[in-house]
Amino acid sequence: MAATWSINQLDYIVSLDSKTNVVNNIHWDCTDEDADGNTGRTYGFQAISTDDLSGFIAYDDITKANAVAWLKAAFGEDGVSDQEAAVAAQIAVLQTPVNGSGSPWAA
């Protein structure tokens, strides 16, 4: 299994330091699936620093790979590992449930 990072949306500042559409927030998903179809997912949004625009990429030229790289850089290695571990833990619980629920009288 290997976690997949998806970008759902980019938020941007319309004008900042003579740049237009400067990305400042990324909405994301981290998912994985095992061979049996059990899935896990974490999601959220992450602020992206706009303090240094020296590596600015025009909004229309941003790729998914750019956005994922920015997201992972903002999380840091530990943050990325934490999200991927949370997804793996969800799958582990589905593989070996620790709780259950139901109505035994309803057949």
As a whole number of angstroms, the distance between CA 20 and CA 53 comes to: 11
Strand, helix or coil for residue 79:
helix
Predicted confidence at residue 106, as pLDDT, reads: 80
Predicted confidence at residue 8, as pLDDT, reads: 98
Predicted confidence at residue 97, as pLDDT, reads: 86
Indicate the burial class of 98 (C-beta count within 10 angstroms; 0-12, 13-18, 19 or more). exposed
Which 3-state string (H, E, C) describes 41-66?
EEEEEEECCCCCCCCCCCHHHCCHHH
- Amino acid present at 62: I
- Token pair of 1 as six digits: 């299994």
As a whole number of angstroms, the distance between CA 58 and CA 79 comes to: 27
Predicted confidence at residue 52, as pLDDT, reads: 95
Distance of CA 26 to the CA centre of its chain: 8
Predicted confidence at residue 107, as pLDDT, reads: 64
Per-10-residue mean pLDDT of the chain, 107 residues long, equals 94 97 98 96 98 96 98 97 97 91 85
Q: What pTM, to 2 d.p., does this model score?
A: 0.88
